[in-house]
Amino acid sequence: MPVEITWWGHATATVRDSGTSVLTDPLLTRRCAHLWRRRGPVPPVSAHAPDAALVSHLHADHLHLRSLSRLGRGTLLVVPRGTLRAVPGVRGLAARMEVCELAAGEKVPVGGVTVRAVPAAHDGRRLPFGRPRVEALGYVVEGEARTYYAGDTDLFDAMEREAGPVDMALLPVGGWGPRLGQGHLNAERAAQALARLRPLGAVPVHYGTFWPLGLWSVRPHEFHSPGHEFVRHAARLAPGVTVHRLGHGESVRLGVDG
């Protein structure tokens, strides 16, 4: 059975493996606070019914309560440990979906796959208040393939050891504003991560979708170019990895052996 990955924009992607669908960091609206969707349609209703949704950290463009409320009843919502205490709105979702908190190194079975939480180098606090502190995570979806979703992260020494051998890597490239702060990967650093991880293939995410209201003309290359730059840097730093630069709503299917 082929494994299929569909990118909906920003950090939201559907991973279908072993008859199970997993949705990463659902952002299913046209607007998120001061950010507006500038490219790609809002994900269709068909994207709202995964078996599980993975939230990597508590920033509003990754833990978006209005988007989470659109998910189908009974969806398993996987969040970093401490989320229920830090974000009261998630407790309200527990009436219609199962909420599972994980720390790095912990796993949960979902249908035909296992979801394993791994560390990420990112400030995972719920802003602007920032207390209590909750660690940011990445996830590895293990079924017929091993798909690493990095969440938001910078490079860190143990990245390849924590992720383990992976077939596909969904890596954040760029962001939603004219500058990248700490805890993010630009295109070249994402390609460096790719060289460490050495998967069979990669999909760049987290770029070219949302931009702040009123800043649409400020450094537009930061919005448009990260995907192309990632392809270029990956060809130099990780030439054995196939990069799939998807458009919004586009999918890649992978036949995985062994």
Residue 155 confidence class, pLDDT cut points 50, 70, 90:
very high
Cis, bond preceding 165 (omega within 30 deg of 0): no
Chain center to CA of 237: 22
Share of the chain above pLDDT 70, in %: 90
Helix, strand or coil for residue 126? coil
Parallel, antiparallel, or unpaired for β 137-142 and 168-172? unpaired
Q: What is the mean pLDDT of the chain?
A: 91
Q: Does the pLDDT value for residue 225 go beyond 60?
A: yes
Segment holding 161, helix H or strand E? helix 159-163
Torsions phi, psi for 189 (to 5 deg): -70, -35
Separation between Cα atoms, residue 234 and residue 253, nearest integer Å = 20
The answer, as to whether pTM is greater than 0.85, is: yes
pLDDT number for residue 59:
92
Separation between Cα atoms, residue 86 and residue 64, nearest integer Å = 14
Could you tell me where the DSSP H helices lie in 52-178? 65-68, 83-86, 88-93, 159-163
Region 242-252: what's the mean pLDDT? 97
Least confident of 6-20, 29-43, 120-134, 197-211: 120-134
DSSP letter assigned to residue 48: G
Separation between Cα atoms, residue 118 and residue 142, nearest integer Å = 13
Region 201-222: what's the mean pLDDT? 81
Parallel, antiparallel, or unpaired for β 146-149 and 137-142? antiparallel
Separation between Cα atoms, residue 15 and residue 3, nearest integer Å = 7
Region 202-208: what's the mean pLDDT? 95
Separation between Cα atoms, residue 124 and residue 57, nearest integer Å = 5
Q: Does the pLDDT value for residue 99 go beyond 70?
A: yes
- From edge to edge, which strands make up the β-sheet containing 31-32? 31-32, 35-37, 210-212
Q: At 130, list the tokens.
A: 């920032």
